[in-house]
Amino acid sequence: MGNASGKRESDNMYTSEEMRMLESAYKNASGGALERLTSDRLVETWSQTIERSLAESTAQFLFIPTKPGQQTVNIPLKKFAEPYYIMERGTMDQKMHMLLCSLRRNGADHFNVKQLEQYLYSVIKSYVHLETTAKGSSIKDWQELGFLTTERSACSLAKGLMRNMGKELEHSMHSEALERWLHVTPQFLLMWREVFVQLYSRHGGSKRHIIKEVEIPILPELCDAPSHSQYRPIIELPHVLYINAQLTRELRHKWRFLFSSKIHGESFSTMLGKIVDKGPTLFFIEDEDQYIFGGYASQSWALKPQFCGDDSSLLFTLSPAMRCFSATGYNDHYQYMNLNQQTMPNGLGMGGQFEFWGLWIDCMFGDGQSVETCSTYRDYVQLSKRKQFKIRNMEVWAVGDLPVKGEDEEGGDGQKRSILDSNLEDRAMLEIAGKTMHSDGLREPGMDD
């Protein structure tokens, strides 16, 4: 009778398709025995699909004793389905309860930062594994291009997700701190949900279509991938996941490859020709100290003596640590690119001011700068190990869809571009060589005023 009433209650919580999936997943985990699902059996079954430590933490949540001093030996279907329900329909309080119970040891009312870091690591690794074995997942395109998921980069992503805890990282944590963190870390919530929804659907033999799709892409589609045999990515998959989550929602679905110094050569003019009018872009730089860092430019690049861009622009570091620096609003020095000027800097800059850049790439290519302080970006720290750095490798990716052709004929400020601004790569090479563009004075009235 108890099992029948529990089943009727569960029926009201799920669709008929979900109930079939959950019942099948329960039988799969219990070996077909009703009301006989033990913790050991659950961990062994789920460890085939997700990280064992994540399976053990979740079993700890599911097998919490109902009364002090008692041990829960078996769990029914309704209890087994709780993580799925919480991920799909649960409140933030329910998510908090599940996470706390998964982290706590021996009934303690607190947990340490290392426990949370390990839990995040297990979610990240489980997500990558599930996506790797999923039909039609875009992760395979990234992996075939050489994007790896090493233990180091997965751990770095876990620490990067925790960075906004601030000083609380130094101490044991209580539920209030965890709740604040959950509210400001939607990337974890999305990945966490995806892991558990896929876990249940896999073991329940379900088709993906009964599970509502993630509204915000976690991993972008890879477009215009380089086919060059010399291509070796600077970054790894966890870096892609981290940076993609920092972008505005409408840009997270797609990354388009534009430039690699290993493929296209160490040429500022070539890079310029690849990135102008391509929409928002991401820069990834590896210096000779093997630091990896870069920036996000929110508007299409154009040659001009003024700063452009907006406050969605970012600077970031990826190795040895993942950190992201958002705009302060103190100034609007987000994007700058200029050439062949005697009284102004020639190169590409993001943040800071002339001669004191948050990120600077000189027009001669190979040399760069990242200063100790930058008022353009909040909580900024120097990106590179040395203030003046040497570029070892560099890539540029556009994000989102390619701007429509009509927009390409306008500058970043919405003004119509002159025909003199076409063939920018050839023009850049001439300007770097010191050849004067005499026809610049013949622009149509009203252009580039």
Same domain as 421, residue 360: yes
Same domain as 129, residue 72: yes
Check whether 209 has a pLDDT greater than 60: no
Res 9: pLDDT: 54
pTM (two decimals): 0.86
- 145 domain residue, yes or no: yes
Min mean pLDDT across 137-141, 213-217, 416-420 is at: 416-420
Check whether 214 has a pLDDT greater than 80: no
Check whether 236 has a pLDDT greater than 90: yes
- 440 domain residue, yes or no: no
Number of domains in the chain: 2
194: domain CATH number is 1.10.238.10
Same domain as 248, residue 193: no
- What average pLDDT does the segment 280-294 reach? 98
Same domain as 229, residue 256: yes
Write the pLDDT tens digit of every residue in 84-120.
999 999 999 999 999 999 987 665 666 788 899 999 9
Confidence of residue 217 (pLDDT cuts 50, 70, 90): confident
Same domain as 48, residue 159: yes
- 217 domain residue, yes or no: no
- 444 domain residue, yes or no: no
- 446 domain residue, yes or no: no
Q: What percent of the chain has pLDDT over 90?
A: 69
Closest by CA position to 102, among listed 119, 87, 90? 119
Domain end marker among 176, 210, 244: 210
- 85 domain residue, yes or no: yes
Q: Containing domain of residue 157, as a range?
A: 2-210
Tokens of 54: 């994540």
Q: What percent of the chain has pLDDT over 70?
A: 82
Check whether 10 has a pLDDT greater than 70: no
- What average pLDDT does the segment 14-26 reach? 93
Check whether 272 has a pLDDT greater than 60: yes
Same domain as 196, residue 339: no
Same domain as 77, residue 206: yes
Confidence of residue 237 (pLDDT cuts 50, 70, 90): very high
Same domain as 72, residue 47: yes
421 or 284: which leads in pLDDT: 284
- What average pLDDT does the segment 62-82 reach? 86
Res 108: pLDDT: 60
Q: How far is the C-alpha of 335 from the C-alpha of 301, rounded, in Å? A: 8
Domain end marker among 210, 234, 265: 210
Write the pLDDT tens digit of every residue in 343-401.
889 999 999 999 999 999 999 999 999 999 999 999 999 999 999 999 999 999 999 99
Min mean pLDDT across 102-111, 202-211, 355-364, 437-446 is at: 437-446
Same domain as 235, residue 178: no
Domain end marker among 180, 210, 240: 210
- 53 domain residue, yes or no: yes
Same domain as 254, residue 309: yes
